Amino acid sequence: MMDSGIGEAIQGWGSAPSDATPATLVIADAEAGYFPEHAVTAAGGHVRGRVSWHDARERLERQGPLAVVLAEARGASDAALTPVLPLLDAIGRQGDTRIVVTLDFEQIDVLAASLCGPGIELLCAPSDVERVAALCLAGLRSGDRVHDVSRNAEAVRLQRLNQEVARIAETLARLTRGDGDTRRVDRRNGGVGEPIQGYRAPPPASDAAEVTARDIRETIRARRLRDQYFGNGLFEDPAWDMMLDLFAAELERAQVSVSSLCIAAALAPTTALRWIARMTEAGLFERQPDPFDRRRAFLGLSDRASLGMRNYVAAVGRSGMAIA
């Protein structure tokens, strides 16, 4: 629940300024040793101001609307971050302001527990190019002003990511209903679509073997083994890798941190964090607060995703096939 102080602070953040050059507030400590303002300028924005993490909450509470907040958390202490993160999350949720946050891998669990709104982009140990691309995507460049090749490539990747998550969500919805129909439907044109190669699961069997966490872990190890012979990147399937890892943890009654799930995805951390955000927004992953540490959160499958996974592995088992 949002506290009253944060609620009052985000009043007036509902719309970004109409200036020709979008305004950005930079949060960064002087000890960071680099100049994030350069990335803002390269992305086509201008810096409204720079503030340290110690003074960031006070500045945000009195700050007018902005296009973007660039928060450089790398190197900042947990004590400095903790008072500011809930306010950044609220701003990202409530207004049109986009929040771009840089972090180190060791900070993933702390920041991901607090920053989970749809208006927030987490960048793990980003390069200058990645930082500029994220700022462009956040809205510092629009229309015919966008000429950055990396920005266009990033937009295409995000579009594909969203499409893949939507496909996975639809597939799991069919599994939870027990519907094995794999016919592709073009709903936009009202057509029934053409059938694609697929497989309808056989009816339930009373003697079907129950899947174990060991079965899932062996599947994960077999999937990772492919990289040893064909190199990294050729068989990337982060959504499924993460779902398998969370399903195995569910069967083990274990908890999975955000950083552990990033490792399971076998991707660059920033890309893995984007997948986690989209899968959460799609209702496939759920955040589970750590009862012993409010700064941390665990991830698990939603009830819908869990049921879909159980139906999938049961159908595979009845067919005598291996979990892919």
Q: If you write DSSP's letter for every residue of 261-311 in order, what string do you get?
A: HHHHTTS-HHHHHHHHHHHHHTTSEEEEE-TT-TT-EEEEE-HHHHHHHHH
Q: Which of 119, 147, 175 is the last residue of a domain?
A: 147
What is the mean predicted confidence (pLDDT) over 140-146? 47
| Residue 231 pLDDT greater than 60, yes or no | yes
End position of a domain, from candidates 97, 119, 147: 147
Cα angle at 98 between 280 and 107, to 5 degrees? 60
- Domain assignment of residue 302, yes or no: yes
155-159: long-range contacts, CB 8 A cutoff, minimum separation 24: 158/274
50 DSSP β-pair partners: 26
Q: Does residue 76 carry a pLDDT above 70?
A: yes
Domain presence at residue 301: yes
* pLDDT value of residue 197: 46
- 123 in any annotated domain: yes
Segment 233-289, tens digit of pLDDT: 788 889 999 999 999 999 999 999 999 999 999 889 999 999 999 999 999 999 998
CA distance 148 to 274: 21
Residue whose token pair is 């002003």? 145
Question: Distance (Å, rounded) from C-alpha 312 to C-alpha 243?
Answer: 12
Shared-domain flag, residues 17 and 49? yes
Lowest mean pLDDT among 31-35, 204-208, 276-280: 204-208
Give every CB contact of residue 261 below 8 A, 6+ residues apart in sequence: 242, 245, 246, 272, 276, 299
Q: Which residues contact 292 (CB under 8 A, 6 or more apart)?
A: none
User: Which CATH number characterizes residue 232's domain?
Assistant: 1.10.10.10
Total-model pTM: 0.74
Is the domain of 119 the same as that of 178? no
Distance of alpha carbon 44 from the chain centroid? 25
Instruction: Examine the domain organization and report whether 312 and 164 are in the same domain.
Output: yes
Q: How many structural domains does the chain have?
A: 2
Helix (H, G, I), strand (E, B) or coil at 67: coil
Listed range (26-30, 157-161, 230-234) with the worst mean pLDDT: 157-161
Of 13, 101, 95, the residue nearest 60 (C-alpha) = 13
Give dist(CA 310, CA 298) in Å, integer.
21
Measuring CA to CA, which residue among 215, 264, 259 is closest to residue 237?
Answer: 264
User: Do 184 and 214 have their domain in common?
Assistant: yes
Give dist(CA 51, CA 227) in Å, integer: 44
197 located within any domain: yes
Domain of residue 142: give its range. 4-147
Q: How far apart are CA 273 and CA 279, in angstroms?
A: 10
Q: What angle do CA 16, 20, 22 make, to 5 degrees?
A: 45
Contact 108, 262 (CB under 8 A): yes
User: Which of 117, 147, 177 marks a domain boundary?
Assistant: 147
Tell me: pLDDT of 153 over 50: yes
Cα 219 to chain centroid distance, Å, stands at 24
Query: Is 155 domain-assigned?
Result: no
Within-domain flag for 324:
no
Q: Is residue 154 part of a domain?
A: no
Q: Left if phi > 0, otherwise alpha if psi is -120 to 50, otherwise beta: which for 209?
A: beta
Q: Are 306 and 165 within one domain?
A: yes
**In this structure, are 181 and 69 located in the same domain?**
no
Residue 211: per-residue pLDDT? 83
